[in-house]
Structure 1
Amino acid sequence: MQLFRKLLFPFSLLYAVVVYLRNWFFDIGLFRSKSYKKPIICIGNLSTGGTGKTPMIEVLLSLFTKTHKIAVLSRGYGRKSDGFLLATKNSTVEELGDEPYQIYSKFPEITMVVDADRQNGIASMESKSSLDFILLDDGFQHRKVTPGFSILLTTYDKLYVDDWYLPTGNLRDSKKEAKRASIIIVTKCPDDLSNDEQLKIKKRLHVHPNQEVLFTYFGYNSILKGNFNKPTLETLKNKKITLVTGIANPKPLENYLSKLAIQFEHLKYKDHHFFTDSEIKLLQSKECIITTEKDYVRLKDKVRNLSYIEVTHRFLNKGEEELTKQIESYLSRSR
């Protein structure tokens, strides 16, 4: 696969030219970007998924839903519906897409909207005076909207400065566009990442003086949730475990289970995969299935013996306090 992607290098050069021209046209005003009165916080990346956007949105919702009325706008990637859709208690995962459905299931008090047309989605919510701000999911490269505050995610093991354009690499936008970020968060770090190594990463990212760099690692809940009766991972060590993932990068989860000395077979599917009848039949034959929360929302009514491992971002060096402070400052300025 890696050899094949290298053979596609000429196409990545063409892609890079298109990306450069598109950003330049926005910079000189040939392409229009719209600003809004309602505060908009964008969470995104420069690469194709796997940086932990959905858990980061859940972090922000956990921090601010008690004091603010929040809307989340997502494209709803992989959903089986079109256009603008406002989530309700009767919405399905097929209608919303797995990530918006997961978010709304955990935070039903928010306004959850899916719309591939970000401008249309924002316009539909901007008239709601009760909303304090909008979280724009995966919107960093969608320059038709100018957010007031942008959070750029990049993974520890694949910093955007070390990546290359699609299809040879995973970059879908120019590295130089990182300059538009208010905060850069390096995700999926080792939980013991030293201050010296953090400083080295900051230097490699060539951040601007007005930008803050924060670091997170994935924290996994040892108590499983789902169709089982809340077992711990320890109680499953003698069972035949099947790990099922349909996410961009399952490697951190694989490493976590291996670190716990849990033996498992791994059935990998593409990101946002909706399972076929034959695949469901295969999963039904498995003794014990562990999956991600995003996959669980697509499988929970179809497969027995199914549990998921809850994951969250945990910050190093009081990064959560810094993130909260900067967002509160932005919201205060926007009033």
Structure 2
Amino acid sequence: MHVPDGFINAPVSVAAGVVAAGAVAVSLRGARRELGGTSRAEGHAGERAAPLAGLVAAFIFAVQMLNFPVAAGTSGHLLGGALAAILVGPYTGVLCIAVVLLMQGILFADGGLTALGVNITVMGVVTVVVAYALFRGLVLVLPRTRRSVTVASFVAALVSVPASAAAFTLVYAIGGTTDVPLGKVFAAMVGVHTLIGIGEAAITMLTVGAVVAVRPDLVYGARGLTTPLKLRVNGELVDAAPARDFAPVAARSPKKFWLGGLAAALVLAGFVSFYASASPDGLEKVAADKGFDKNVEEHDAAGSPLADYGVKGVEAARLSGGLAGVIGVGATLAVGTGAFWLVRRRRTEASGAQV
């Protein structure tokens, strides 16, 4: 759903940029708490979330390259807001999506640069807020088990995608550069993105479920929701102390998990992406069908060596796309990890100053 330059007029693009900048500023402050937790009660969860955040951004970049078919001549891809919010927290999640969109716009000419504020607002802020609010509401009413986390992640991700499509339609209603029937645009956008939301939900649920199964201590949304260890005492099953259930897992270094996640991202971007659907995504398809793609402008980074997810000068399509994907994962990981490290360092310095 990357909005290109030319869809939205300059005043509304600027306004969306202000909203996005404000959301990023608020998220930076909130992410310091999510990434900087070092209290005994938190089990040093913040220390583990900090390196994970850069990996989450890189993983979302990789999975976004995997367009999947959703209807005749239409494809979709992960937006990632729900996944990021559940894994590393809502504030850090907004920053993860912002990093991904920035890398895609600058390096790969994907998503307009003047529309960056629109994309961060629609694809990042809206998806994270809707998904995490719904996720938290569900885990409060569902049984406090790991399975509830995966079920809640499915529903949250599913709803977040059409919500993002509705938000784009609202932005277009205010600042669209083409006069088109907005009712039909809304119906088409929400309809096709509901189908895309099913794919988003499946990817999010499988990813969250896999992480919860092996390292529940690394999942922000699963903190305090793991099933207590059961012990048989005098023939009856009783809950063990929470510390005994959680401590052995939490004591492990996340290094192996981080390396495994990075390997998965590299394989997805460098190899699996070659088999992604070539059909236009939901926004592109609706724009072409409803005629509001007439004013699309050429991307300012169209001459980039990595434009359109290929390495300029490499003739073999498989090799070109694979190299571009690997470079994108590496760049997103480096920028994301550096940014989150700085955020956490500022939190640590502020805590030290208060002491």
Please state which structure has a larger fraction of its residues in strand.
Answer: 1
TM-score normalised according to structure 2 size = 0.24
TM-score normalised according to structure 1 size = 0.25
Please state which structure has a larger fraction of its residues in helix.
Answer: 2
